[in-house]
Amino acid sequence: MSFDYFPTTTIFIGVAAFSALIACLYAFVLYKKVTKIKVNHQRIEEISSYIHEGAMAFMKRQYTIIIYFALGVGSLLALTELIPSLQGAEGVGWKAAIAFIFGALFSGLAGWIGMHAATKANSRTTSAANTGGMPSALRVAFSGGSVLGLTVVGLGLFGLTALFFIFYWVYGGNTGVPREQYLALTHAINTVTGYGLGASLIALFGRVGGGIFTKAADVGADLVGKVEAGIPEDDPRNPAVIADNVGDNVGDVAGMGSDLTESYIGSIISALTLGLYAFVTFTPQQVMDGIVTIDSSVLSGIFASVLYPLLIAGFGAISAVVAVWMIRRKDWHRPQFALSMSTYLAALVMLVTSLVLSHVLFDGVRAWGVFGAVTTGLFVGIGIGFIAEYYTSSDYKHVKEIANQSLTGHATNVIAGYSVGMLSTFLTVVVLVAGIVISYLFTGDMYGIALAAVGMLSTAGITISVDAYGPIADNAGGIAQMSKLDEGVRKITDKLDSVGNTTAAIGKGFCIGSAALTSIGLFFAFEKSAGLSDGRGIDILQPGVMVGVFIGAMLPFLFTSLVIKSVGRAANKMIDEVRRQFKEDPGIMEGTSLPDYARCVDISTKAALKEMILPAMIAVFSPIIAGVFLGAEGLGGLLVGGLVSAIMLAVFMANSGGAWDNAKKFIEEGNLGGKGSDAHKAAVTGDTVGDPFKDTAGPSMDILIKLMSIVSLIIVPILAQIEPILSFLFN
């Protein structure tokens, strides 16, 4: 098919944008459906309003800070216009600043809406469990989660396609002259990279700040409430109980959602960039310099490569809509089955539509190649999820082994979990590397790897929906407990919650896998933009590259240490506050007076936002500093060192944490002495060690590597203008 003239391109971009809008629309319908459910139970409403208000208070405070950050970064980007040598360079300048602001805006809006829906859906889930039983509770919780899932892909993709189209038009894409259309395309793609940076900013705050918030509240609530005061989990007398429930939303809804939004947008941007280089032997620079001329057939091929990832993402949004719609139609009594079905259904729709699309946009072998790359990504996502489940589920030997090691004490439990997490890197890396190799072979270049990332993340809509369902069900259980509802209601929410734990483990694997593939895609987009593969590449034998690799590999360790210390400090503040409230008002423990929930939420909020500043600075500034000192080559080394080190730590920490958690639950189910036994106490230690691993430090790794990659991609035009300070480290 031919794509060399304006209307065809418009139609195809329009299809992607329209798909995104459908997802938004359906999210709106679901939001209305969820919120119009009447709760009719004063206690449920009260408790849930605390959670809702706490969560929105956190979001508001967080977004206020983000606005300052966004204006700062946006201004810096815009100000590069003043540097003569950077005028006209894309990726920086006022257009990139606009893209950046829109990226932050759309991504932030998606998070806001999703959070709103989730904290409305929790009480409705409790209420539905109370009045309608399992199927209707499941439907409400799943619908609540789907609002986030569909908004993320809908808004994220719509903003990206719209901006892309506008910039294409602004840069003169409607001239009908192949060369100018090609250059407009190049400029538009470079400019929308700023959109990805905007999503990254939201993800940085969402994931790292959210991770610190949720664990500070969790540890504070548990340590003083459960251990010191001896009151059960989710007891309304615990001043930190609302903060703990808010934390579930802040970490597992907003944090997870922003992480996958970043991956989703990052993967598309890397595929757009690499699409410019796919199946051709020239570079945009050569076209600009007039060395290569573009005719309409060449342009047609390039358009196909560039439009393909946008449309795959669009069909992904549709597949999520279809899956959610189908699942909602039936009364499910087995929640695990329903959630799995939704994922498989979406994947199936994706496979079929992308098969068709591949043959519309490409011919013959190439059509099968791009389809193969997308499919590879889908399977890698599923594969890494399964590996995470294998190492973290008590159905398999590893978690049982950790539980057994709890019999000999705290230390042996910790060592066993540590060892299982490290072991899990092996299979994960094997699958990831196989995915990289296979997707590369399918297209014969890096474009295939970027397509694999897009393919994996095409299911982001449904994956986020399923993931966000978990904390809603968890909250619903907490509300049921605090509202003193029947044992039967709690049973339903417990069942829903336990399914949520499995999906969370798989989801965490998916987040890591997608962050890895996206970062690799962005890395190759970076090197293409910087023109590194035209020269001598990124040669490890250059001392400057070696230095970059070393420092890059160290950063994830430093980052981990900092966020874990942050959790500790924030948790200590929470502990002090809970103790203070118990001490100053004995009525709280007696149940005669209400604790000050808002203050605990406030403490977690302030601590989370304050504590994330240093790690955030490291993530943002280390690539810039590396670029200035070591140049694009050394920065490339830094990215690769950081990438591999962060992936290993992310996998290790997520799986160790999940395995410890489930080993504890396995004992709590009555095995090896059950609750209260010495083995259980040891298992609680492991679980507590694992909490910041799996919910703060581990997920932060995803952000670290994506953010460093996208910052690097953004600063390419600046690096092209300066001589690295340590240039003597290159010969």
Q: Per CB under 8 A, which of residues 234..273 are in contact with its own copies? A: none
283: left (phi over 0), alpha (psi -120 to 50) or beta: beta
Radius of gyration of the chain measured on its C-alpha atoms: 25
List all residues 6 or more positions away from 73 whose beta carbon is below 8 Å from its beta carbon: 100, 197, 201
390 binds its own copies (CB under 8 A): no
* Options 105, 177, 355, 540; binder of its own copies; rule CB under 8 A: 540
Q: Which of residues 424-483 bind its own copies (CB under 8 A)?
A: 425-426, 429, 432-433, 436-437, 440-441, 445-446
* Options 636, 657, 699, 717; binder of its own copies; rule CB under 8 A: 636
Stretch that binds its own copies, among 25-33, 53-61, 597-605, 721-729 (CB under 8 A): 721-729
Exposed e or buried b per residue across 280-319, where buried means at least 16 C-beta atoms within 10 angstroms of its C-beta: beebbeebeeeebebeeebbbbbbbbbbbbbbbbbbbbbb
Q: Which of residues 74-93 bind its own copies (CB under 8 A)?
A: none
* Options 83, 341, 351, 554; binder of its own copies; rule CB under 8 A: 554
The two three-digit tokens of residue 657, written as one number? 């944490």
Amino acid at 547: V
* Options 336, 533, 677, 727; binder of its own copies; rule CB under 8 A: 533
User: What is the rounded CA–CA span in Å between residue 554 and residue 559?
Assistant: 9
The two three-digit tokens of residue 233, written as one number? 């989990």
If the CB atoms of residues 189 and 640 are measured against its own copies, the closer one turns out to be 640
CB of 728 to its own copies, least distance (A): 7
CB of 531 to its own copies, least distance (A): 11
614 binds its own copies (CB under 8 A): no
Place of tokens 């709760």: 39
The two three-digit tokens of residue 457, written as one number? 């993340």
If the CB atoms of residues 77 and 567 are measured against its own copies, the closer one turns out to be 567
Stretch that binds its own copies, among 50-58, 275-283, 295-303, 562-570 (CB under 8 A): 562-570
645 binds its own copies (CB under 8 A): yes
* Options 134, 451, 640, 719; binder of its own copies; rule CB under 8 A: 640
Q: Which of residues 481-520 bind its own copies (CB under 8 A)?
A: 520
Q: Which of residues 216-235 bind its own copies (CB under 8 A)?
A: 223, 227
Please say whether the beta carbons of 95 and 86 come within 8 A.
no
* Options 558, 598, 614, 720; binder of its own copies; rule CB under 8 A: 558
- 3-state DSSP call for residue 600? helix
214 binds its own copies (CB under 8 A): no
Q: Report the interhelical angle of 94-131 vs 134-170 (nearest 10°).
A: 170
CB of 99 to its own copies, least distance (A): 27
List all residues 6 or more positions away from 611 whose beta carbon is below 8 Å from its beta carbon: 212, 563, 566, 567, 569, 570
621 binds its own copies (CB under 8 A): no
User: What is the rounded CA–CA span in Å between residue 691 and residue 669?
Assistant: 20
If the CB atoms of residues 266 and 548 are measured against its own copies, the closer one turns out to be 548
Residue 72, number of CB atoms within 10 A of its CB: 10
CB of 382 to its own copies, least distance (A): 20
* Options 72, 176, 537, 586; binder of its own copies; rule CB under 8 A: 537
109 binds its own copies (CB under 8 A): no
541 binds its own copies (CB under 8 A): yes
553 binds its own copies (CB under 8 A): yes
399 binds its own copies (CB under 8 A): no
If the CB atoms of residues 212 and 496 are measured against its own copies, the closer one turns out to be 212
Stretch that binds its own copies, among 80-88, 194-202, 304-312, 423-431 (CB under 8 A): 423-431
Stretch that binds its own copies, among 30-38, 422-430, 476-484, 597-605 (CB under 8 A): 422-430
637 binds its own copies (CB under 8 A): yes
Phi, psi torsion values for 149, nearest 5 degrees: -55, -45
Q: Which of residues 675-704 bind its own copies (CB under 8 A)?
A: 684-689, 692
CB of 359 to its own copies, least distance (A): 25
- Kind and range of the H or E run holding 112: helix 94-131
The closest alpha carbon to 710, from 197, 268, 163, 276, belongs to 197
CB of 223 to its own copies, least distance (A): 7
Stretch that binds its own copies, among 38-46, 156-164, 313-321, 553-561 (CB under 8 A): 553-561
User: What is the rounded CA–CA span in Å between residue 688 and residue 699?
Assistant: 16
Please say whether the beta carbons of 657 and 691 come within 8 A.
yes
Please say whether the beta carbons of 20 and 161 come within 8 A.
yes
If the CB atoms of residues 81 and 401 are measured against its own copies, the closer one turns out to be 401
* Options 148, 473, 547, 601; binder of its own copies; rule CB under 8 A: 547
* Options 71, 330, 395, 550; binder of its own copies; rule CB under 8 A: 550
CB of 562 to its own copies, least distance (A): 8
If the CB atoms of residues 296 and 727 are measured against its own copies, the closer one turns out to be 727
Stretch that binds its own copies, among 121-129, 198-206, 359-367, 647-655 (CB under 8 A): 647-655
Stretch that binds its own copies, among 21-29, 52-60, 149-157, 412-420 (CB under 8 A): 412-420
The closest alpha carbon to 399, from 154, 654, 663, belongs to 663
List all residues 6 or more positions away from 474 whose beta carbon is below 8 Å from its beta carbon: 245, 248, 252, 497, 500
Place of tokens 């001490």: 583
The two three-digit tokens of residue 118, written as one number? 């989730």
User: What is the rounded CA–CA span in Å between residue 646 and residue 640?
Assistant: 10
Continuous H helices in 132-240: 134-170, 178-203, 210-220
Exposed e or buried b per residue across 401-429, where buried means at least 16 C-beta atoms within 10 angstroms of its C-beta: bbbbbbbeebebbbebbbbbbebbbebbb
CB of 428 to its own copies, least distance (A): 8
Residue 680, number of CB atoms within 10 A of its CB: 19
729 binds its own copies (CB under 8 A): yes
How many residues of this chain interact with its own copies, rule: CB under 8 A? 79
The closest alpha carbon to 155, from 264, 304, 248, 273, belongs to 264
